[in-house]
Structures are given as structure tokens and as C-alpha cells.
Amino acid sequence: MLFSESLVTVPGSVAVTAFSCMGSNQMNCLKLLVAATALGMASQAYAAQDDAARTISSPRVTYVDKITGQTHDVLRCGAENPSASERLTIEAQLRAFRASDKASLIPGATVADKIIPIHFHIITTNTGAGDVQDSQLDTQIAVLNAAYAGSGFQFVKQGYSRARNTTWYNGCAQASIERQIRKSLAVDPTHTFNVYTCGLGGGLLGRATFPWMYPENSFMHGVVMLNASLPGGSATNYNGGDTLTHESGHYLGLYHTFQGGCTPPGDSIDDTPDEASAASGCPTGRDTCASEGVDPITDFMDYTYDSCMTGFTVDQRIRAQDEVSIYRPSLGH
């Protein structure tokens, strides 16, 4: 693949080298009845939220940062939880779409893959600490494509860039700094999946936006992830590349498998058994809800080790297809 190179100046940092590519059923209805009433201003709420309120409680493990030698707690994901009223409106829009002639997938259907280009933004300190190898990005794309095989989505590395900015690298878990980063670096968010790697901090491995949170052209769309969670990184048990698999699930519209615990509507997916809380490690046979089925610990939308995650369900694939069709129709090609 050929790349063209350009030099970009980023406020508060040194120059950035940028490279660009050339060349339902009854159960669902019951779940909906339990959800509450009318979609609010999700984008404003996300941008204005206090940083401390953006972290959700979950099982933690630790990893040693090879750059600083510090030991950090690890919290897999900091995705926003939509309100009951937001969920009700999202589900209503999904029902309307599925009743239309635009509906995409049905169980067992074969659909042409939507090819989603990814632009990686590698943020380092001013001295270059926190950098990742180009080969890690290629491996990450391969991991994503293996995880999403048969889902109707595939990914390509459209381009990548590096930005040296110590404040950004160390502070990217803060909402205000994250917003600065996205606003300064985002590449064509209407059509492109923007992924930012940094020190993240706050115990997070990654954070994503949902497709319905912003207008299609908003620079806020994308994923921020811990650089150490890329394939071959230093986040032990979380360095197989499935942090981005998980966060991409949110980016395409999927909730955590433990969303809402044992109480309907849960994660709004019929074929993922209810789960009371996030799982950690690889606890085979874990069963936290009285409803049928053991916890879906091998699902990419849980919190288990990368080595324990193996797939998405049929209904998750359908939901992701539909959400992208509704909220991000211009994404990819």
C-alpha cells in the first residue's frame, strides 16, 4: 500500500507526521416495555460530563508500564451508559428501520462487507515515549478482521500519524484533553474510523463513542485506547488486540453483555444470556443471573482476557449492521 506523507502542526506539541492512503421477537418487545421515555441531547451530555463520572466500576487487574516502570490498575472500558430514555428512542428507531425496506441482515443471511478505513493517531510524549511499531498497527487490523469475519464489516489501515505531546499522552483520559485531541487530529470522521493511542490512564484500556451520540461529521466519533493494549504491548492478558475489537463494538452500536445486569432490557440482544456484572479473567461456567444460560464470558463485549474472547453473536452482528445503517450510513464503503 502506498502512503503520502505530510507535516502537520498540532497546538502544544511538536510537528506531526501524517500518512494517508492512496491507490425480535417477543422478548425484545418485553425488554422495550421496561425501558423509559425520549432521546435527550446525548452529544452535549457526553462533552460536558465530569471526568470523574465517566469511569464505570468493574473488575481490575494491573499492568506495568514499560516506559515509566509504574504499575497501573486496568479497567477494560469507559464507554458511556445511555439513559433509559435514550435507549427507548434508539430501540424505537431500530424497530422502524427493521420494518422498512432498508433492513439489512436476517439470521443466516450473507451480506457484502462494509469496508471501514481506520486512521491511527499515535500520541507520544515530547521525547517519543509511548510510540508503537507500524507492524503493531498491521497486526491490529488483522485481529479486527478475524474478530469481525462474517459480521458484515471489515477494516483497512487507511493511514496513520504520530503526534508528540506529553500533555495529551498523559492526560487523554480527561474529557477536556480527549476533546482537544479529537478536534485537532480527526481525519474525515464521516467516512473514517479514527483510533487514538496514548497513555490513557485512569485505569482504562479504551473508550469509544456510540454511533448515535453525534452527527456523522463530528470529530468526536472514534476510539481512544491504551497504547500498551495493541498486539504485542505490555498490558499482560490485554495485549492481544481485542481492546480495539471491544471498543469497535461500541463504535458500531453494541452495549456490554452485562448492560443492565439481570434486569430487562439488558444489552437488548436476545442471544446473549443475562449477566449481572462484568467478568474478569476467564471464569468458565460463571452464572450470575437466574435466567437461562451461563454468562457470555467469551463474547467480545464482556471484560474477560483477550485470550478468552472469541466472537460476536448473530443478533449482535445484526444490531451493529442496523445501527450503522441508521446513524452512520456514510461510514466506509
Q: Which residues are catalytic?
A: 247
Cis status of the peptide bond prior to 273, with omega within 30 of 0? no
Which residues fall within 8 angstroms of residue 135, CB to CB, at 6 or more apart? Answer: none
Q: Nearest 10 degrees: CA dihedral of 248, 254, 257, 259?
A: 120
Is residue 47 packed enough to be buried (19+ CB in 10 Å), middle (13-18) or exposed (0-12)? middle
Rounded distance, CA 150 to CA 46, Å? Answer: 32
**Amino acid present at 202:** G
Q: Give the count of alpha carbons within 13 A of 28, CB side only.
A: 16
Three-state DSSP class for 121? strand
Q: Cβ atoms within 10 A of the Cβ of 203, count?
A: 18
Q: Spell out a b/e string for 152-183, using b for 16 or more CB atoms within 10 Å of the CB, else e.
A: bbbbbbbbbbbbbbbbbbbbbbbbebbebbbe
Place of cell 416495555: 33
Is residue 1 packed enough to be buried (19+ CB in 10 Å), middle (13-18) or exposed (0-12)? exposed
